[in-house]
Amino acid sequence: MTLAVLRSAVILAMLSTFAFVGFSQKGIDVQTEKIKSEGNKQVERPNIVNPGISWGKGKTKDRAPLANPYSLAGRRDVLIRTITNVLRDEKIVIDEASSRLTDGIIVTQPFVFAKGVVVAPGELSRYAVLSDGDTAWSRGQYTLTIEVQTNDGVHNRVAVNAKVEGRAGNGIGYEWRTVQSSGLAEDEFLSKLVEAVTGASPDGPTPTDH
């Protein structure tokens, strides 16, 4: 083989190598650009509207306050026993000295529903009609007086009255002040009682709801 032929062979081999490398590099660039392009591409998602917080099947429904007194059918002694059970379930203690169960009158001990200067003002504004917005309330409580009135032992009227009190600071100490009830304490108890007697809560779905 002559020197010229040898040189031609070497040059040809070098050109083939450069062409292969260039092609391979171009392929890598194409693949890389494809990955980058797909990576930067925004994935389209379905338009989902935030459903908000779900309170479940037993969510309280907006309704008008229950009638007070509220009419309920049933034996008077059974109804009075149901009332005492509802109070117990709600952790409300009956004042035995003030109550006359045989006469259908049930009086509770004060039930504290709010504690603390942060929570008390807001809760009191729900359970009471407050006229002085500058009062430093630190607690809220109510006392229930429940009276069962019956004509024939089967048809009854249950009347509920709440004495609402707030513990207020006067600059020197604290004192309990009686405030006008908003009707919420009475309505909440009647709702629980109606559910216990009828099996259907006025605040939620009936047993046939799905």
Residue 14 placed within a domain = no
111-115/155-169 β-pairing: unpaired
pLDDT for the residue numbered 188: 97
* Domain presence at residue 193: yes
Domain that holds residue 132: 70-198
What would the mean pLDDT of 153-160 be, rounded to a whole number? 93
Contact 192, 86 (CB under 8 A): yes
Residue 95 lies in a domain: yes
Residue 76 clears pLDDT 60, i.e. is over it: yes
Could you tell me if residue 209 is inside a domain? no
- pTM, rounded to two decimals: 0.67
Q: What is the CATH number of the domain that holds 157?
A: 3.30.530.50
Domain presence at residue 22: no
35 belongs to a structural domain: no
Reported residue count of the chain is 210
Return all residues near 191 (Cβ < 8 A) that are at least 6 apart: 66, 201, 202, 203
User: Nearest-5° angle of CA 164, CA 84, CA 107?
Assistant: 35
Structure confidence at residue 15 (pLDDT): 54
Structural domain contains residue 82: yes
Residue 32 domain flag: no
pLDDT for 103-139, tens place per residue?
A: 999 999 999 999 999 999 999 999 999 987 778 899 9
